[in-house]
Amino acid sequence: MTEIFGFLLDQLNYLNVFILMTIESTFIPFPSEIVLPPAAYNAHATGEQNVFLLILAATAGADAGAAINYFLSLYLGRPMIYAFANSKWGHRCLLNEEKIQKAERYFDEHGVFATLTGRLVPVVRQLISIPAGLARMNFFKFILFTTIGAGIWNCILAAIGWYLQTIVPKEQLMDKVNEYSEYIKIAILGIIVIAAGYFLIKKLLKKTK
């Protein structure tokens, strides 16, 4: 399995980006940060790939992986999902009951828009499709919000890789990606908190009137 991942990462064409981002968007632990920034970096350096097509491939992969989680949750149901999360194989996938509960709480608190904003939140990003399936959310609405959220995240990752090609050698790329992505995660969380506070205040004011 490690050799397969290594091969895919060494050959970051459109198909391999799609495959890796599909895996990343399921419950299998695989960070998107090691896929799209290097792909965009190489695209800028060699001109062999189009960065916009890479983003489209990555977003399509994210949709495919999210759909897998959605339908597994929809048809297996909560007891089996939690049983898997607490099993040996679930733990090997870095899953546990607490992570599933966190994703469910996020979904309950933010409603259907959680499938959009959740794609930008660490830990929740890969798992937000599970409570969507458990809640039997409309699939087309689910895919729409997932596409928007994943598309935003993939644009950010591609922009990081594209920009870093102009300032750092390839051997330093991942260190810089990790540094930049941490700042971006903090900024995104801040935006989500501000937006959530805005809508909450707006809702409260509407009730008082």
- Between the alpha carbon of residue 79 and those of residues 73, 76, 100, the distances in Å are 10, 8, 12
Number of domains within the chain: 1
Q: What is the pTM of this model?
A: 0.80
pLDDT in tens, the chain (209 residues): 445 545 555 678 899 899 989 988 887 767 788 888 888 988 888 888 899 999 999 999 999 999 999 999 888 888 888 888 888 877 776 777 888 888 888 787 777 777 777 777 766 777 888 888 888 889 999 999 899 889 988 998 898 888 888 888 877 777 877 777 777 767 666 666 666 666 667 667 666 65
Tell me the two tokens of residue 142: 């689910």
- Residue 42's domain comprises 2-208
> Are 41 and 34 spatial neighbours (Cβ–Cβ below 8 Å)?
no
